[in-house]
Structure 1
């Protein structure tokens, strides 16, 4: 058991540290967790609340009250005991608020992180989409039930989930929590002008969720948004990098953090809608040998989406995605496996397929070569106007 090493005295110390932090927000969900953590923490800071936050997404980071970030170093495998260290740091610095991204996948550990470690005052479950079915599944309903392990006891739970609301209502009744649902009305209340103020592509649903939490905490909307606009985005945030390569216009979209079929299709469709001027449409899918089920899900889904002109498969275990996509009807001539190739070699393959202008969307996973490709394109992209090198 994870807390077996904690004796009575140690657990009493954790309880004192935790309870000294007035606002404790636990953020969970399939997609958008890291972004929502950063948005809420930035709004709290803008309101003058001494806030620590921790993300566990693309690269784990501890965000201090002044907005500076420190990498979270790990010895060995990831362990939820790490959250105790974050609570201790925040308590020692007399923080008023702590915003933690849930780092557990196994259903019992998700519940343990909430009920035994953080005991949040406010919970957020961004959505409950089918992902990590090998751990939280096998069905989408099972995923929702696993995520609901972080429903706060006698607190408030915020969610943008649409499909599994009866489960959310039942979990809130069971734990004496109040459910706040974020729907289309709240999302569409975020204007295009407000979204344009972000330095990256932020999703309306994430902003609406964060604003709902801020409203509950008494933070004025304009104060919250001002803080969010100035926040540093997660490395996995949806961003665009225009590259002019010897006359070829290549627009790279970092969607690597979208690694389930629903999120990946949304990113793909959004990129297509934003850039109809690109003549060629390319997709780079980063696979992981230890996520064969996810590769198979993406392989099945690709043939149902708006087609790309070519698909480049990078990372490890690309065979699972390629085989599934071929069986689902994707032409073999449109698939190029590049397992084991370097970012430079992948870039050359993309350039060769780009034509005069190309939209290139990365998806699947940001780990390893995903992050390397992101940096490769970012370092070769045109600088925004007014920004010095």
Structure 2
């Protein structure tokens, strides 16, 4: 559950990952990455009208996120929104105009890679109210902290840490590194493809975040991955990823769509349909989060691929930074703000009460690939589009059982 209202309370006039009406008093907006649960209101008419009334309001993001927004019409930001986008470089401080009470002021903003998905960043705000770090959704291993000079310099200096606590729960104690998951999944797919009748379905539900897997699979097998025209369009400005993808489903055995949804795999009954699913929630629910994979059957494997930090990783991140206060930005189903802060063993805390964030529909034109390609026309006819999810499968974690009084 979302527990963050978008306001960085130390600095008046800043909103992060929220673009709804209650945030319209902000003068500087920040987008950490292109997943829908962090883009509430961005493509709505009300936000567009607000921008038209507010000439000095800007939206800040990473360079990759700006490129993705311009390429992905399913996210459908208006021309007005796109005109207000300002992409900032990573690691280099930038001065941003904000409100400080009733007065105008400036704050330094530094973008730090968040390790969550393509273009995802943390925001480090530094001004007269101290240093504040907003992680957005993030995945950081302990050894990665030691390699980031900006994070190394922050230990013991943070006034507040706005923290991704999606998996801050004992059910999610540890996850394998994603590199391990990718190697394991690629190895399994390679073994299946030794059977020339095999067709591989890649079940990867989220919009962004699996790109290293796509590239590794293409490099290892020498085959491109068949995707829908809409999926292909997402990476229009990123040729290193497009090189691993194709619109021609007859040229490859690798298909990026939910199992059974690609007509090519449905109509070839003589082919063995093999499925690889990359996910984390399944492992959490089954209490197998430290496991690399689950063999659902001989031809179906799930691999533990988490884009969020595990509880152990979150604890090590907090232990290193030693912030004065922590604001949890998400509350797992089986937890509360109080239990989260207990897991993090912080004595000086700032509590963020859970708020109900309305799901706002993203309005805009549907992308239509029209490049004169024969493959594009074929693609539209015989590949059912995959769903675009902001998070993996919506799964309710099991409640802890209460002990009966004896």
The interval holding the TM-score normalised by the smaller chain is 0.3 to 0.5
Higher relative contact order (CA 8 A, sep 6+): 2
TM-score computed with the length of structure 2 as normaliser: 0.32
